[in-house]
Amino acid sequence: MRLQNYKTIMDEELRIIISGGGTGGHIFPAISIANAIKAKRPDAKILFVGALGRMEMQRVPAAGYEIKGLPICGFDRKHILKNIAVLYKIWKSQHIAKRIVKDFKPMAAVGVGGYASGPTLNVCASKKIPCLIQEQNSYAGVTNRLLAKKAEKICVAYDGMERFFPAEKIILTGNPVRQNILQSTRSREEAIASFGLDPAKKTILIVGGSLGARTMNQSMLENLDTVRNSGVQFIWQTGKYYYEDICKTLNSIPELPMVKATDFISDMGAAYSAADIVISRAGASSISEFCLIGKPVILVPSPNVAEDHQTQNAMALVNKNAAIYVKDAEATKVLLDRAIATVKDEAKLQSLRTNILTLGVANSAETIAEEVIKLATR
């Protein structure tokens, strides 16, 4: 009889909700988890729940998944009165989440952090639907800290997360990374040529996160003469908010054939293959990617994050000689010179490659997918 019940559960269509987003650091791991679930259970029905107006509403459908949006946003700490509208949006989001859960009937729910995961997982937990949360950073986000009591499993990427979560719920899985990055088969030369650059030259990739970073962009804009005379070339992801103004600046000066500027790079696998070194923020998902592919990196932690957690993320590598650290406030003065000097130092690049590879945690998405399926089919 027990075997019969087990077969009935395994034959039943698997339905999973994945909620959260706001930045690529939440969205890309979420998509990787969804892909891993589908690889293990091709019959699975996966529904994403995000925040209206945030980037997940475009990125998730582009990855082939359905998404529902909630009208939720964060609190405005500078303008207290505006939070009356925020409270209404939270209330409305909770009611929409109830309807979504009622219609979809999920067997398990996954929260990856971000505004939308709060209402969604709260509703699921209230209906006794098992919940798993995935925390990417070394300093846990507010939403995940609030949801921890209701979650049955908490997947983390760093040791010492017991200071935020109940120890008995924690599973050290590492962070899921974008599958196309690990599966990229392009050679360095092919990848560089795809950006219209010279395979014979050393290449620096600058990424300020999926939305761009003002400090990174200013570091380039204030040092264009250094760029012109560097003898190396640059792939520069500006972010969509900065792209138009940067293009105006570049169009107003003599051409810089060694610079390929773009608002967003969809094929990061090719960009990483092309790069001899990367300049990046210290988001947890990006760091996980660098560790798995063994990519030399200069980390410029964002100062605009909770508890300065990006600096903590960066120092976990820097203390093991696996990355270079540049403080955000000093970046416009020292970042470009440091990057150019490093990319020309082959011994330093090889040391960084060797050391960062030792820190990678493989198969994170697959491990998390297994835990989700266990919760859904128990």
- Secondary structure (DSSP) of 203-233: EEEEE--TT--HHHHHHHHTTHHHHHTSSSE
For residue 13, what is the DSSP state?
P
Question: What integer is the mean pLDDT of 70-96?
Answer: 81
Please write the tens of the pLDDT for every residue from 293-307.
999 999 999 988 767
Neighbours of 149 (CB within 10 A): 10
Band the pLDDT of 131: cuts 50, 70, 90: very high
Comparing 117-121, 183-187, 260-264, the range with the smallest average pLDDT is 183-187
Please write the tens of the pLDDT for every residue from 132-157.
999 988 888 888 999 999 999 999 98
Q: What is the dihedral of CA 276, 282, 286, 287, to 10 degrees?
A: 80
Phi/psi at 206 (5° precision):
-115, 120
Q: What is the per-residue pLDDT for 329? A: 95
Question: What integer is the mean pLDDT of 198-220?
Answer: 90
Both tokens of residue 258? 């060694």
Q: What is the per-residue pLDDT for 6? A: 42
Band the pLDDT of 182: cuts 50, 70, 90: confident
**Does residue 85 or residue 48 have the better pLDDT?**
48
**Residue 2: which H helix or E strand, with range?**
helix 2-11
| Angle formed at CA 364 by CA 143 and CA 138, multiple of 5 degrees | 40
Can you name the residues that pair with 50 across neighbouring β-strands? Answer: 69
Band the pLDDT of 211: cuts 50, 70, 90: low
